[in-house]
């Protein structure tokens, strides 16, 4: 049995609360802005060449940060799309096996339909469990137990009265349903490396710090533009992290396809 904790314990970074990350990130970026601005004020008499150099360094770091943010967001969205596609594939596999259940004789057909009803419910619960480890563990346990029940029906259908074509299609559909389980679990573990976020966070603090230094050295009294830039960068970083953490973030992958399959079977 796979432990539900494994979906969250890829590394310590993914155990942190989303709001805690947001508060710490915003606080560090604001501190970097304030520190850079005050250091700049202390060097108001610095030569123009030094101020130009520091501003250029800040702009270069900001440009590098923008490039990395674009790549990171693209990779996070790609992983989100993969998770969504896997749920659609799983819903299709369950729907196909449900239709082929009518090809076998009773009571096997009723047993397979009942097992698929329980299985679909468990798969929906995996998506709805979010960061509730107990709920996720129960859904994973029920899924794996239902695998055995589904395959038991397939084995019982292997009799002389069952046509070979029907048996082959049933085996193929059952295999697809069972194989989708590991794909679903693997997709939930497919996070961006936490090292990438540490790098992005460090570059964000450096870039706003350098730019704030330039504001201070130029005796600009307002800090608002730098603070707004820091908030914008922080918002983009949070968006990337949210898309990258389907079980903990605010942006969910959703299980609408599985819910439609369950509703269709209930009619």
Predicted pLDDT of residue 267: 60
Residue 132's pLDDT band, with cuts at 50, 70 and 90, is confident
Nearest-angstrom CA–CA distance, 95 and 262: 9
What percentage of the chain carries pLDDT values higher than 90? 28
pLDDT given for residue 7 in this prediction = 53
Residues 111-127 have a mean pLDDT of: 90
pLDDT value of residue 226: 85
Residue 162 pLDDT more than 80?
no
In the block, tokens 């397939």 appear at: 154
List, for residues 96-105, the tens digit of each pLDDT value: 998 888 888 8
Backbone angles phi, psi at 11, to 5 degrees: -160, 175
User: Regarding predicted confidence, which is higher, 129 or 232?
Assistant: 232
Indicate whether 45 pLDDT > 50.
Answer: yes
> What band does 186 get if pLDDT is binned at 50, 70 and 90?
confident
How would DSSP label each residue in the chain? ---GGGGTTTSGGGGS-HHHHHHHHHHHHHHHHHHHHHHHHHTTTS-HHHHHHHHHHHHHHHHHHHHHHHHHHHHHHHHHHHHHHHHHHHHHHHHHHHHHGGGSPTTHHHHHHHHHHHHHHHHHHHHH-TT-HHHHHHHHHHHHHHHHHHHHHHHHT-STTS-HHHHHHHHHHHHHHHHHHHHHHHHHH-PPPHHHHHHHHHHHHHHHHHHHHHHHHTT----HHHHHHHHHHHHHHHHHHHHH-TTTSSS----HHHHHHHHHHH-
The predicted pLDDT at position 3 comes to 47
pLDDT at 1 over 50: no
Query: Where is pLDDT greater, at 92 or 6?
Result: 92
Mean pLDDT across 216-224: 74
What distances in angstroms separate CA 23 from CA 57, 89, 175, 242, one per listed residue? Answer: 27, 37, 46, 14
pLDDT band at 57 (very low <50, low <70, confident <90, very high): confident
Distance CA(149)–CA(64), nearest Å, equals 54
Q: Is the pLDDT of residue 83 over 70?
A: yes
Q: Which pLDDT score, from 0 to 100, does residue 265 have?
A: 65
pLDDT of residue 48: 73
Confidence of residue 64 (pLDDT cuts 50, 70, 90): very high
Rg of the chain over all Cα atoms, to the nearest angstrom: 27
* Local confidence band at 199 (pLDDT 50, 70, 90 cut-offs): very high
- Per-residue pLDDT band for 70 (boundaries 50, 70, 90) equals very high
In angstroms, the CA 178 to CA 159 distance is 22
How much of the chain exceeds pLDDT 70, in percent? 91
Q: Where along the chain do its domains lie?
A: 4-187+213-266
Mention every residue, 6+ apart, whose C-beta is less than 8 A from residue 216: 36, 37, 38, 39, 40, 41, 42, 43, 44
- The model's pTM is 0.82
| Token output for 236 | 């983009």
**Range 197-215 average pLDDT:** 89
User: Is residue 5's pLDDT more than 60?
Assistant: no
What pLDDT, on the 0 to 100 scale, is given for residue 2? Answer: 46
């Amino acid at each position: 049995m796979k432990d539900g904790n494994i979906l969250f314990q890829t590394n310590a970074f993914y155990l942190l609360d989303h709001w805690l990350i947001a508060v710490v990130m915003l606080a560090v970026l604001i501190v970097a802005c304030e520190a850079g601005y005050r250091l700049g004020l202390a060097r108001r008499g610095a030569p123009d060449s030094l101020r130009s150099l520091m501003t250029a360094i800040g702009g270069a770091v900001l440009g590098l940060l923008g490039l990395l943010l674009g790549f990171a967001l693209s990779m996070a969205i790609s992983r989100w799309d993969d998770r969504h596609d896997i749920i659609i594939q799983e819903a299709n596999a369950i729907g196909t096996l449900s239709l082929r259940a009518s090809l076998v004789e009773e009571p096997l057909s009723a047993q397979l339909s009942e097992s698929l009803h329980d299985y679909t419910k468990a798969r929906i619960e995996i998506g709805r469990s979010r960061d509730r480890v107990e709920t996720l563990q129960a859904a994973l346990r029920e899924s794996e137990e239902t695998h055995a029940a589904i395959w038991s029906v397939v084995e019982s259908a292997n009799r002389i009265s069952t046509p070979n074509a029907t048996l082959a299609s049933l085996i193929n559909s059952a295999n697809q349903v069972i194989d989708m389980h590991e794909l679903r679990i693997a997709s939930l573990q497919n996070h961006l490396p936490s090292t990438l976020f540490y790098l992005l966070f460090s570059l964000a603090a450096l870039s706003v710090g350098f730019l704030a230094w330039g504001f201070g050295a130029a005796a600009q009294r307002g800090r608002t533009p730098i603070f707004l830039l820091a908030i914008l960068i922080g918002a983009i970083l949070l968006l990337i992290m949210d898309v990258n953490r389907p079980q903990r973030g605010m942006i969910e992958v959703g299980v609408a396809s599985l819910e439609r399959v369950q509703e269709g079977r209930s009619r």
